[in-house]
Amino acid sequence: MAETYATAAPDRSAVRSLLRLWPYVRPVRLRLFTAAFVAVLASCAGLVIPLVLKWMVDGPVADRDTGGVWLGALFLLLLGLAEALLFGMRRWLVARPLAHVEAEMRAELYGRLQRLPVAFHDRWASGQLLSRATADLGLVRMFLAFPLTFLLVNSVTIVFGVVIMLLQDWRLGLVILGPAVPVVVMCVYFENRYAVVARRAQDQVGDLTTVVEESVLGIRIIKGFGRHRTQARAFRELSSTLRGTELSKARLLATIWAVIVTLPELAIGAALVLGAVQVADGELSAGTLVAFLSTALALRWPVDSIGFLLAMSQEAATATERYFEVMDEEPERDAVVRSAPAPDAGLRFDGVVFRYPDADPGSPPVLDGVDLHVRPGESMALVGATGSGKTTLTALVPRLHEVTAGRISLDGVDVAALPREELRARVAVAFEEPTLFSASVGENVLMGADDRAGDAELERALAVAQAEFVHALPQGADTQVGEQGLSLSGGQRQRLALARAVVGRPPFLVLDDPLSALDVHTEAAVEAALRQVLAGTTALIVAHRPSTVLLADRVALLSGGRIAAVGTHHELLRDNPDYAHLMSGTGRQEDDR
């Protein structure tokens, strides 16, 4: 989890960030505009109420006309009902389309995460990605549902209200407008401060998610080493930092509220006193003062709410930014390398150099000129000390990482020139740390084959991988495994991963120490079965134990970032002291990667 987040860019603009939402909002724009229009209507219906009041006070009330008062009251009731109805309609209009927008954005994020290269995932903490897919998208939906509409509705309402007040009495109107300038200045200042804190809070949520996720995934290690206190402390520290940030958000919000609420309130008070004096002097009708003040009071909510509407918009802008930080990453692309086909069939590495993208630029590359030719149908064992780059080399074949220089070819075709789908259909892989998904055993294995493969293929693969234990599981191959299912032992999982690798009968097989967790007897059985599979396959197999090495036709020794020697096990044992030393251990070198 190296780079967790970029801090807010200096030229960031909330509006520019939010505008990027348009492509997602476009499909539902009609509903959204209708909803906004309905809300403006509702809000303006509210502004007619004071005018009716004025008519009532200056007319029927002054004339003691009971019928007129009743009529006015009925009118007010109807206006109130209309307002409530219109607001309800707005809610109904936006709810579904916005849930759709959120789902759509989430699906695209998920799709992008799947297509981003492994190097991206090495760089980003999973919690940061999770929080983007959940909390941030929730904020965006909230923004579209509420602040977006109401910033518009409130602005229109305020403009209308102010015009009405100025028309009633322009002097009182100016008194009310007095605080507008300081309020606007405060809002701008607040916007900028709030943007910074909001970004910090959202990033901290991501960090916290990462800790929680790691604690859950690593629960065995945490318990086994009695580390729950350390983990709990890390959690507490992060969550208290987050609480601090949330508190400063709250403080900022409180300040702006205080200003936004107090200043207009003072202005209303002043207008009340002035207006009362004018009415007493006979310069103003009582009805006008009532209308004026009730308009001012009706505007209180639109003005007061601007503070938190701006805050919500700011948070949504930050969330949008965080969303697009991922969406803007380059996905894996099918390069248009058109190199001349090499004459050799089989799997070839030519001058392959590789440095991890996040490695220190000054450090030597992990692989520094690997030349190796695995002949068609041959199986080659790859041997090397821990950390020599075996896993890295195997990951380059299915292009989980891209070579820094040099080329890898399958039957003469540069892997960089193969469409990814085709490449991954030709090469099957199994890694040392097998991952099983939350699905049935059968589904997990058949993932390695095309959709036509059925039970017969499954059985064959399970037999090769000596994974007959599957039949003893509660529901056989239909048993659920993975996070939401039955837990399997490391050796069992390795065998399923191996079955997944061989089930599609791939022409090329790349295995990164696939038998490391097996006991000696099972390993021997797997090897015997694997020998048949390997007969028709070009394979590169990372190996530690002499028994696995013996499966292969030849052995390549990886050392110092290059292939130091190639030969049969016995030749190397005889001629290469380094190899002899590697193989003379107790069988298996602990490989912790």
Task: Return residues touching Mg ion (CB under 5 A).
Answer: 391, 593
Alpha carbon 209 to chain centroid, angstroms: 12
Token pair of 254 as six digits = 């409180």
**387-401: string of b/e by CB count within 10 Å (b at 16+)?**
ebbbbbbbbbbbbbb
390 scored as a contact of ligand ADP (CB under 6 A): yes
Report in angstroms the alpha-carbon separations of 189 from 41, 163, 256, 360, 584: 31, 27, 10, 41, 71
Residue nearest to Mg ion according to CB distances in the complex:
391
Residue 129 CB, shortest distance to ligand ADP, in Å, is 16
For residue 387, the partner it binds in Mg ion, ligand ADP, none, with Cβ less than 5 to 8 A by kind, is ligand ADP
Sign for the CA dihedral angle at 34, 36, 39, 45 comes to: negative
Residue 558 CB, shortest distance to ligand ADP, in Å, is 7
Residue number with CB closer to ligand ADP (128 or 388): 388
Alpha carbon 547 to chain centroid, angstroms: 44
DSSP letters spanning 286-321 = HHHHHHHHHHHHHTHHHHHHHHHHHHHHHHHHHHHH
72 scored as a contact of ligand ADP (CB under 6 A): no
277 scored as a contact of ligand ADP (CB under 6 A): no
Residue number with CB closer to Mg ion (91 or 593): 593
3-state secondary structure labels for all residues of 398-453 = CCCCCCCEEEEEECCEEHHHCCHHHHHHHEEEECCCCCCCCEEHHHHHHCCCCCCC
Whose structure tokens read 């990951």? 395
Residue 511 CB, shortest distance to ligand ADP, in Å, is 12
388 scored as a contact of ligand ADP (CB under 6 A): yes
Q: Which of 43, 210, 391, 537 binds ligand ADP (CB under 6 A)?
A: 391
* Residue type at position 224: G
- Cα distance between residue 466 and residue 527, in whole Å: 9
DSSP letters spanning 56-91 = HIIIIITTT-HHHHHHHHHHHHHHHHHHHHHHHHHH
Residue number with CB closer to Mg ion (14 or 563): 563
Residue number with CB closer to ligand ADP (154 or 391): 391
Q: Which of 43, 288, 392, 440 binds ligand ADP (CB under 6 A)?
A: 392
CA trace torsion 35, 39, 42, 44 (10° rounding):
-130
Within residues 73-132, the interface with ligand ADP by CB under 6 A covers 122
CB 199 within 8 A of CB 8: yes
Residue 588 CB, shortest distance to ligand ADP, in Å, is 13
Q: Which of 389, 442, 491, 561 binds ligand ADP (CB under 6 A)?
A: 389
CB 42 within 8 A of CB 90: yes
What 3-state DSSP class applies to 53? helix
Residue 389 CB, shortest distance to ligand ADP, in Å, is 4
Residue number with CB closer to ligand ADP (198 or 395): 395
For residue 122, the partner it binds in Mg ion, ligand ADP, none, with Cβ less than 5 to 8 A by kind, is ligand ADP
Residue 451 CB, shortest distance to ligand ADP, in Å, is 32
Residue 404 CB, shortest distance to ligand ADP, in Å, is 13
Residue number with CB closer to ligand ADP (124 or 323): 124
242 scored as a contact of ligand ADP (CB under 6 A): no
Whose structure tokens read 């702006």? 256
3-state secondary structure labels for all residues of 510-522 = EEECCCCCCCHHH
Residue number with CB closer to ligand ADP (574 or 593): 593
CA trace torsion 297, 303, 309, 310 (10° rounding):
-170
Report in angstroms the alpha-carbon separations of 163 from 170, 263, 493: 9, 19, 73
Cβ within 8 Å of residue 138, ≥6 positions away = 102
559 scored as a contact of ligand ADP (CB under 6 A): no
Residue number with CB closer to ligand ADP (149 or 392): 392
For residue 202, the partner it binds in ligand ADP, Mg ion, none, with Cβ less than 5 to 8 A by kind, is none
510 scored as a contact of ligand ADP (CB under 6 A): no
For residue 29, the partner it binds in Mg ion, ligand ADP, none, with Cβ less than 5 to 8 A by kind, is none
Within residues 572-591, the interface with ligand ADP by CB under 6 A covers 591
Residue number with CB closer to ligand ADP (226 or 362): 362
- Cα distance between residue 415 and residue 379, in whole Å: 19
Site string for ligand ADP, 346-375 (x = CB under 6 A): ----------x-xx------x---------
Residue number with CB closer to ligand ADP (298 or 539): 539
The contact set with ligand ADP (CB under 6 A) reads: 122, 356, 358-359, 366, 384, 386-392, 591, 593
